[in-house]
């Protein structure tokens, strides 16, 4: 009988946000794999809970080497609890490798939902949250950072990033350069902690604010790109663009949708153009 891997969300600031199930899982786990065993000790002391199982470190430096060991323990029936320093394991934190290994072996994986800096920042940002994408940390080198941002410049969904405080000003300046100085954003700092702060405004304004120096854990939320202005294209040109995509291997439905999005037009208008062109 195989064991169970439990991914446990931990508080991102306020210890009172710890779910009751986290306390129960910490007490019951056969193995607790922690990103930082010292922070785990502070967590258990704050929650007044004693771990009865073995505690091992599981962080970026030993994740690849330790995963097989934990996977073997799971296969032998152990209940393994994975906790990171704050938030949900696997989200810009260790965990993905172990989840993948457990899934490959047919081992049950479950979670104790907990606080999330991504969702908390989204909710507080004042920006659209119906569709969003999480981009984690940007590259540290300026050239690589700009290249990544250029790839994301046309993204219509709200974007969420993590960033270190000492790189915040440079990152916001790069975003203003690539996305546009007036693109709306929110910098969420020290979420759920005593000095929580949410600074909202255009990217250029936020970059100037951050240049004075900012401390704490940072989450950036950026408004998605505006939809393109409708292009003035006749029916023949719309049909030609669809035909080019079809010749490249796209199905007609997908080709029509892509052309409509690029042109800023309703899909029905492009469909009608294709039909009209074929009837000529």
Q: Which CATH number fits domain 4-115: 3.40.1010.10, 3.40.50.2000, 3.50.50.60, 1.10.10.60?
A: 3.40.1010.10
Site of tokens 């790839």: 151
How many other CB atoms are there within 10 angstroms of residue 123's CB atom? 12
Bridge partner residues of 56 (DSSP): 33
pLDDT tens column, 59-68? 999 999 999 9
Is the pLDDT reported for residue 37 higher than 80? yes
Average pLDDT over residues 225-234: 79
Confidence of residue 93 (pLDDT cuts 50, 70, 90): confident
What are 249's strand-pairing partners?
Answer: none
Question: Beta strand pairing status for 54-57 and 132-137?
Answer: unpaired
Where in the chain are the domains? Answer: 4-115, 118-222, 235-278
Q: What is the pLDDT of residues 192-218, one digit of tens each?
A: 999 999 999 999 999 999 999 999 999
Helices (H) and strands (E) in the chain, counts: 11, 10
Listed in sequence order, the residues at least 6 apart from 199 whose beta carbon sits closer than 8 Å to its beta carbon are 186, 187, 189, 206, 209
Query: Domain spanning 118-222: which CATH class is it, in words?
Result: alpha beta
Distance separating the N- and C-terminal Cα atoms of the chain:
68
Look up tokens 């330790």; give the residue. 66
Distance CA 172, CA 164 (A): 12
Structure confidence at residue 225 as a pLDDT band (50, 70, 90): very high
Same fold flag, 4-115 and 118-222: no
């Amino acid at each position: 009988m195989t064991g169970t891997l439990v991914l446990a969300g931990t508080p991102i600031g306020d210890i009172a946000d710890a779910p009751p199930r986290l306390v129960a899982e910490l007490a019951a786990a056969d193995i607790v794999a922690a990103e930082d065993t010292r922070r785990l000790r502070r967590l258990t002391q704050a929650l007044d809970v004693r771990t009865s199982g073995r505690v091992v470190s599981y962080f970026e430096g030993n994740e690849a080497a330790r995963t097989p060991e934990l996977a073997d323990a799971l296969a032998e029936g152990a209940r393994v609890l994975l906790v990171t320093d704050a938030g949900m394991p696997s989200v810009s934190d260790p965990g993905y490798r172990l989840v993948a290994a457990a899934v490959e072996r047919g081992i049950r994986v479950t979670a104790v939902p907990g606080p999330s800096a991504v969702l908390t920042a989204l909710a507080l940002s004042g920006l659209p949250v119906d569709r969003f994408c999480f981009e984690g940390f940007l590259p540290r080198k300026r050239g690589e950072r700009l290249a990544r941002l250029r790839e994301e410049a046309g993204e219509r969904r709200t974007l969420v990033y993590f960033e270190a405080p000492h790189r915040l000003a440079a990152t916001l300046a790069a975003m203003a350069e690539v996305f546009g100085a007036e693109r709306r954003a929110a910098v969420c700092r020290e979420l759920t902690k005593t000095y929580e702060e949410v600074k909202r405004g255009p990217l250029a304004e936020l970059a100037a604010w951050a240049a004075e120096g900012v401390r704490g854990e940072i989450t950036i939320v950026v408004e998605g790109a505006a939809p393109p202005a409708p292009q003035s294209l006749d029916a023949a040109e719309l049909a030609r663009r669809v035909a080019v995509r079809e010749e490249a291997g796209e199905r007609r439905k997908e080709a029509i949708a892509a052309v409509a999005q690029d042109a800023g037009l309703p899909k029905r208008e492009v469909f009608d153009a294709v039909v009209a062109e074929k009837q000529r």
